[in-house]
Amino acid sequence: MITQPSSFRKTPKALVEATLVAAICAMAACSDNNHHDGSTPVTPPQTVTISGVVAGSGFVPGSTTEPTLKPGYYQGALVCVDANANGKCDADEHPATTGSDGKFSLDVATVGALIADIGTTATNTATGAANPTRNVFRATLEQVQEQQADGVVISPLSSEVTRLMEANGSSYDTEKQNLATRIGVNLAQVLADVNDQSGATQSAMLTEANALTQRFAYAVTKFDRGDKYPDALAVAGGDPELTGMAGVTAATATVPETRLPITFAQAQQAAFNVEGIPRYDAIFIIMLENKATKSILDSAFAPKINAYLQEGNQSTSYYATGNPSEPNYTALGGADDFGITDDSQWNCGATGANAPEDLPLPTSDQPGLASSPFNGSCDNAVNHNVKARRNLFNAITAAGMTWRTYNESMNPGQDIRTDSVADPAVMAQDNVYAPDTVGGNSSTVGNPNLVLPLPGGLYKTKHHPGMAYQNVRSAPEFKFSNRTMGGGQWDNVLKNSTKYTIPEGYDFDQLGTDLQTGDVGNLNFVVPDQCDDMHGITVKGTVVGSGATGTASDCSGDAIITRGDNYVDYVVKKIRASDLWKNPQKKVAIVIMFDEGKATSGFNSCCGWNVSNSTVAQPLKQNTDGSWAVDDSIANYNHGNRGHGESIWGVLTNQPDAPKGIKDSDPYSHFSFVRTLQDMFLLADPAVDGSYMNRSKYTEKFIAENILNLPEYAGSADTHFDAVRPMNHAYVIPADYVEKQSGDVANEPQVGPDASQANIWALKK
């Protein structure tokens, strides 16, 4: 609230404020010195006092359900009008300091936009912890004027309104409304004190405040650090740091370094566009299985996926990183397969220091798990239980965000850590396809009289991107975050299950429920069963009447492509029918991708790969001085990460103004995608190589700088191809460059750059 000088002299801070007035009067705004001769009474300066709070959120790790986010204030933060717009409360800006209740009272000559400069000596009262890194929240002039009567609330949300106004050249009212719409709270509350809210409104505000706090802290870090702008790997054309650098292919490192130190205003936006990857609220990654690009692209068996590819954007040179499934999913979970080169159970070879910690193992002798197929001991020369390695799941959780894996066709009541089992009590009819619905079939495919009992292995742990990681299976939220997904052949009859006790209130389609309630994760892996994901298993049943044995019409052969095509269509439509998707202020993406191709010839992989038949690859570990050394602790590592060809990869977004129909042919791999996700959710910092997990840090520059420890990349004929980069389409392919390919694509190699360099993740053109 604002008071007149006569009243503020009565405040307990009179002495301080008198000094402040004197200081203010030293400035041009009070430069009328004509009466300062002692003979003429001084006209009290026309200052105003702005009161309010600096509010925020605090994250408390360890929740077994949703992240624990608490409301609070910043104690010891400086509040000022940032007159010189340097993103700091300088001494000559006479900042007020917030008290233990987060309150400030600031005297200024005129009402202006405010900043809260939150240093590392400030305390977040939500957690009682010191603020870990300098942060700045802003509040616009319009907001200050609007709230001046009741107290101004400077918060991550107020700062976001400011940022959006600058980004979009729009008004306060517009962006305030957009933010309210975005997080689903009333306009009157969106910039209010989160501490005064409750229920869903408070929860929504805290969730957003938590994410924004990290973004704005990162913006300040970039600014204070003097980062160049934009990020190196977001520079149009290519990374300018590579030009003239030893150990990189000169023909593809041609962009001059012209970047300048980032400004405060640039940093504000850059923190929401790390390496050119915009912040998204939610991403759904639909995982399909084992199809080369040429098996899907333009296939008559996959008309719906092809329509989505056309409708959205594509990465047309997307490579798997392993073979078979488990290494690929593990790499999608954390940008490395850690020497896993088969589909063995997650406890295989896990002895000694690698022994599982999530005990007891889910074997059939455990209570309620009599039907478990889990083998309690599994000899294998290779450890399949990855310990103490970074991964997306732990990183998302540690940032106070959420992940989900939606898994189809689990047995109700089973342990998520085991494969599903056959259940003869769960019977479904064979899928029947009318003419012209399966690759141009002229007659009906399928037998309406064929009844198929639920086969075993529809759900497989090898297809869970987090399963190999001990730290994921042991995470408090592991059970909560693994969920069901319906819509398949047996899902409607899973209620007849007999293999495990069906838990009370069991939701057979949690994805459907979550899309209705909005309780999806930030990062969502959508994992169809082994028929709906095009993998294929043997599914046999009995023909009613004749008693003859029959095989499912569409869990093998080309028909399974159509089955998967239909399932993808089902999931995409379901997501797009949700309020989440329909809220354009929410940034939502759906990725349709395969774990691997076939790689029957040509290049097996790219972009962080263990170069074909290299015999020397080892992971790296960081020394205390920041340098890197070889980590030789992983058996079979050299056989991992070798790739398995190219598959289709498409992304749909809910952004109406986003560029569409973009084909990005710059090669990417699972490691690139994991790097992209780290950028998307601010899980890493491009200025700190080691902040990117595992092989996702293997940029062209990093490899060149660490070539002695990465001998698999020595002698490269094309260091760009070998290296990881985010999927941002910033790199421009040289005019005479001939595309490298696996045998999985049917098109002739592209020569030269893409038709458009638009970013497949861009939110607007």
Beta carbon nearer to another protein, 394 or 604? 604
Kindly state whether residue 716 participates in binding another protein, applying the rule CB under 8 A: yes
Can you give the three-state secondary structure of 550-568, one letter per residue?
EECCCCCCCHHHHHHHHHH
CA 335: distance to chain centroid? 14
Name the residue type at position 74: Y
Q: For residues 248 and 651, which CB has a smaller minimum distance to another protein in the complex?
A: 248
Question: Which residue, 17 or 596, has its beta carbon nearer to another protein?
Answer: 596
- Residue 161 token pair: 């309104």
691: contact with another protein by CB under 8 A: no
**Closer CB to another protein, 47 or 719, in the complex:** 719
Q: Name the minimum Å distance from CB 523 to another protein.
A: 28
* Helix or strand holding residue 362 (H, E): none
β 228-229/260-261 pair status: antiparallel
Between 720 and 729, name the residue whose CB sits nearer to another protein.
Answer: 720
500, 722, 728, 762: which one binds another protein (CB under 8 A): 722
Among 249, 263, 366, 449, binds another protein (CB under 8 A): 249
Question: Judged by CB, which is closer to another protein: 8, or 637?
Answer: 637
Total number of residues that touch another protein (CB under 8 A): 50
Residue 582 CB-half CA count within 13 A? 8
- Binding of residue 667 to another protein (CB under 8 A): no
Nearest distance in Å: CB 463, another protein: 16
Q: Which of 142, 507, 718, 754 binds another protein (CB under 8 A)?
A: 718
Measured distance CA(320)–CA(327) in Å, rounded: 10
Nearest approach, Cβ of 496 to another protein (angstroms)? 33
Assess 719 for contact with another protein (CB under 8 A): yes
The stretch near another protein (CB under 8 A) out of 193-201, 265-273, 305-313, 711-719 is 711-719
How far is it, in rounded angstroms, from Cα 743 to Cα 563?
A: 25
CB of 646 to another protein, least distance (A): 11
Name the amino acid, one letter, at 343: D
By CB under 8 A, tell whether 129 contacts another protein. Answer: no
| C-beta atoms surrounding 740 within 10 Å | 16
Q: Tell me the DSSP string of 596-649.
A: ----SSB----SS---TT-S----EEE-TTS-EEE---STTGGGSS----EE-E
Which is closer to another protein, CB of 160 or CB of 646?
646
Whether residue 304 contacts residue 568, with contact meaning beta carbons closer than 8 Å, is answered with yes
Paired tokens of 159: 């700062």
Are the C-beta atoms of 79 and 55 separated by less than 8 Å?
Answer: no
Residues 6+ apart with CB under 8 A from 159: 136, 137, 138, 139, 212, 216
Shortest gap between Cβ of 707 and another protein (angstroms)? 4
Shortest distance in whole angstroms from residue 611 CB to another protein: 5
Q: Which two tokens stand for residue 745?
A: 């694509």
User: Which residues in the 216-245 window bind another protein by CB under 8 A?
Assistant: 245
Our CB check for another protein shows the closer of 136 and 733 to be 733
H/E segment holding residue 251: none
Tell whether residue 670 is a contact of another protein (CB under 8 A): no
In terms of CB distance, is 18 or 250 closer to another protein?
250
Q: By CB under 8 A, tell whether 740 contacts another protein.
A: yes
List the end-to-end C-alpha distance of the chain, in Å, as a whole number.
42
In terms of CB distance, is 76 or 324 closer to another protein? Answer: 324
Smallest distance from another protein to CB 257, Å: 17
Report which of 43, 48, 39 is spatially closest to residue 20, judged by C-alpha positions.
Answer: 48
With respect to another protein, which residue has the nearer C-beta, 602 or 734?
A: 602
Contact 619, 694 (CB under 8 A): yes
Residues 593-652, interacting with another protein (CB under 8 A): 598-604, 610-616, 636, 638-640, 642-645
**Least Cβ distance, residue 665 to another protein (angstroms):** 17
The number of beta carbons lying within 10 Å of the beta carbon of residue 226 is: 10
Biggest CA–CA distance in the chain, Å, is 117
Q: How far is the CB of 245 from another protein (least distance, A)?
A: 8
Q: How far is the CB of 693 from another protein (least distance, A)?
A: 21
743 binds another protein (CB under 8 A): yes
User: Considering beta carbons, is residue 308 or 721 the nearer one to another protein?
Assistant: 721
The answer to whether 247 contacts another protein (rule: CB under 8 A) is yes
Decide: 618 and 727 in contact? Cβ < 8 Å.
no
Stretch of 175-183, 497-505, 685-693, 718-726 lying at the interface with another protein (CB under 8 A): 718-726
Which pair of tokens denotes residue 606? 């790219």
Which residues, 433 to 492, sit near another protein by CB under 8 A? none
* 254 three-class SS: coil
Q: Which of residues 143-172 bind another protein (CB under 8 A)?
A: none
**CA 687 to CA 378: how far, in whole Å?**
42
Q: Does 751 bind another protein (CB under 8 A)?
A: no
Candidate ranges 130-138, 427-435, 439-447, 705-713; the one touching another protein (CB under 8 A): 705-713
746 interacts with another protein by CB under 8 A:
no
Residue 615: exposed, middle, or buried by beta-carbon count in 10 A (0-12, 13-18, 19+)? exposed
Task: Extract the tokens encoding 318.
Answer: 């997307």
Residue 382 beta carbon to another protein: minimum distance, rounded to whole angstroms: 9
Q: Which of 262, 704, 724, 732 binds another protein (CB under 8 A)?
A: 704
Should residue 714 be labelled a site residue for another protein when binding is judged by CB under 8 A? yes
Q: What is the secondary structure of 529-556 as a DSSP string?
A: -TTTTS-----EEEETTT--EEE-TTSS
From CA 412, how far away is CA 486, in angstroms rounded?
A: 12
99 touches another protein (CB under 8 A): no
**Residue 250 beta carbon to another protein: minimum distance, rounded to whole angstroms:** 4
DSSP 75-88: ET-EEE--TT-SSS
Tell me which of 149, 260, 708, 735 binds another protein, using CB under 8 A: 708
Residue 221 or 614: which CB sits closer to another protein? 614
Rounded Cα distance between 676 and 682, Å, is 10
Shortest distance (Å) from residue 708 CB to another protein: 7
Considering the complex, state which of residue 47 and residue 290 has its C-beta at the smaller distance from another protein: 290
Beta carbon nearer to another protein, 316 or 325: 325
Pick from 379, 623, 715, 735 the residue near another protein by CB under 8 A: 715
Residue 280: both structure tokens together: 């998204």
Q: Which is nearer to another protein, 439 or 643 (CB)?
A: 643
- Rounded CA separation 159/208 (Å): 12
- Residue 60's DSSP bridge partners are 68
- Closest CB 255 distance from another protein, rounded Å: 15
Site for another protein (CB under 8 A): which residue of 290, 371, 484, 566?
290
Among 303, 376, 690, 711, indicate the residue that binds another protein (CB under 8 A): 711
* Exposure string for 152-188, b = 16+ CB within 10 A, e = fewer: bbbbbbbbbbbbbbeeeeeebeebbebbbebbbbeee
CB of 330 to another protein, least distance (A): 14
Query: How far apart are the C-alpha atoms of 479 and 481, rounded to whole Å?
Result: 5
- Cα torsion 619, 624, 627, 629 to 10°: value is -30
Provide the mask over 336-355, with x wherever binding to another protein is found by CB under 8 A and - wherever it is not: -----xx-------------
Q: Is 713 left (phi over 0), alpha (psi -120 to 50) or beta?
A: alpha
Binding site for another protein (CB under 8 A): 245-251, 253, 290, 323-324, 341-342, 598-604, 610-616, 636, 638-640, 642-645, 704, 707-708, 711-712, 714-719, 721-722, 740, 743
